[in-house]
Amino acid sequence: MVADTASYHRIVLDSRPAGRPTADNFRLEEVAVPTLEDGEVLVRNHYLSIDPYMLGRMSTGVSYAPSQPLGEVMIGEAVGEIVQSRNKEFPVGDHVVGQLGWQEMALSDGQALRRVDIGAAPMSAHLGVLGMTGVTAWYGMTQICSPVAGSTVVVSAAAGAVGGVAVQLAKAKGCRVVGIAGGSRKCKYVMESLGADACVDYKKHADSAALGRAVGSHAPDGVDAYFDNVNGWMLDGVLPLMNRFGRIALCGMISRYGDTPMQLSAHSYLLISRLRAEGFIVWDHLDLWPQALQELTDLLQSGSLRSGESIAEGIEAAPAACIGLLSGENLGKQLVKLN
């Protein structure tokens, strides 16, 4: 297969958001399809991954990764098909995942591409449960939360991409799982589609103390592990519920993305209850990816793992999908399907 067009569209970051992004921070461009040099491939992207971490990359604040440069294509993973190749390792027709950006086509030297088997699962799943999302949930749950049958696990942002997989992994281990999500629609999804035993609608609770009481009503024996995608006031609410020697996987900080930095007021519980709280970035553990992807594939194919997705259509929909994700509009993995 060859590229059948002389140009393609991409989204660039035009200005830095003041808080949460708006459509004005992005710009749609049409650019010429590049000519390949030795060792390069051209990928036609089929799906783009939209993730909360992108807001942190749009700013110039301190983070674990460099800021997104202005005027350049927006960062992000994509899955697609190689349509031109001058790289013997990646022939035309291969399907790959990589940091290919918000664009319909992407040039790559192949160094950061990961070949995927679209026969094992739908193409979109390789950005979700069989991609960075799934491995993030797998690492935080299996390597930090260490769930055992009969224990109680709480997951915040439980209707989101990572949180939704974390809920299902804990249930697969035989745990009692309490989700936290925003709104009745999301809580219904967390319980009925993902299998959580209970779900607390945080929008009904004015502060961390009220949230803690609500979560505690579903965890009468305390909380053994907490998969935290939110931080801030939500972490403050769960900390007093933690049993001694409990584990906390610090995965995300949705509560502070684009807003005033969170104030952690309940940190003394880390000492009182001898808790293990560990932050992690999934790219630091590439050695575990093969194991994680194999286990996730087995769970998906056995029907024990659901691939929840929210899909927007067309490259021009990427900014709105990102804005909607940060406003909590999605269920499961937010993707953009390209024409």
Cα radius of gyration (the chain): 20
Query: Cα dihedral angle (134, 300, 90, 79), rounded to 10 degrees?
Result: -60
What does the pLDDT look like over 232-259, one tens digit per residue?
Answer: 889 999 999 999 999 999 987 665 555 5
The yes or no reply on domain 7-128+307-337 and CATH 3.90.180.10 is yes
* Domain chopping of the chain, boundaries: 7-128+307-337, 132-283
Q: Which phi-psi region, left, alpha or beta, contains residue 303 (left: φ > 0; alpha: ψ -120 to 50)?
A: left
Q: Which of 24-33, 103-112, 273-282 has the lowest mean pLDDT?
A: 273-282
Contact (CB, 8 A) for 169 and 141: yes
Strand 7-13 relative to strand 26-32, pairing: antiparallel
| Tokens matching residue 110 | 């192949």
At 52, the pLDDT band (50, 70, 90 cuts) reads confident
Measured at the alpha carbon of residue 195, what is the angle toward residues 290 and 124, in degrees to the nearest 5? 45
Q: Which of 66-70, 83-87, 301-305 has the lowest mean pLDDT?
A: 66-70
**pLDDT at position 265, please?**
55
User: What pairs with residue 200 in β-bridges?
Assistant: 180
Is residue 65 pLDDT above 60, yes or no? yes
Nearest residue to 171 (alpha-carbon basis) of 145, 187, 193, 153: 153
Query: Cα dihedral angle (142, 143, 147, 148), rounded to 10 degrees?
Result: 100
What does the pLDDT look like over 202-223, one tens digit per residue?
Answer: 999 999 999 999 999 999 999 9
Q: pTM for this structure?
A: 0.91
What does the pLDDT look like over 121-161, one tens digit per residue?
Answer: 999 999 999 999 999 999 999 999 999 999 999 999 999 99
User: What pairs with residue 198 in β-bridges?
Assistant: 178
Contact (CB, 8 A) for 314 and 338: yes
CATH fold for domain 132-283: Rossmann fold (3.40.50)
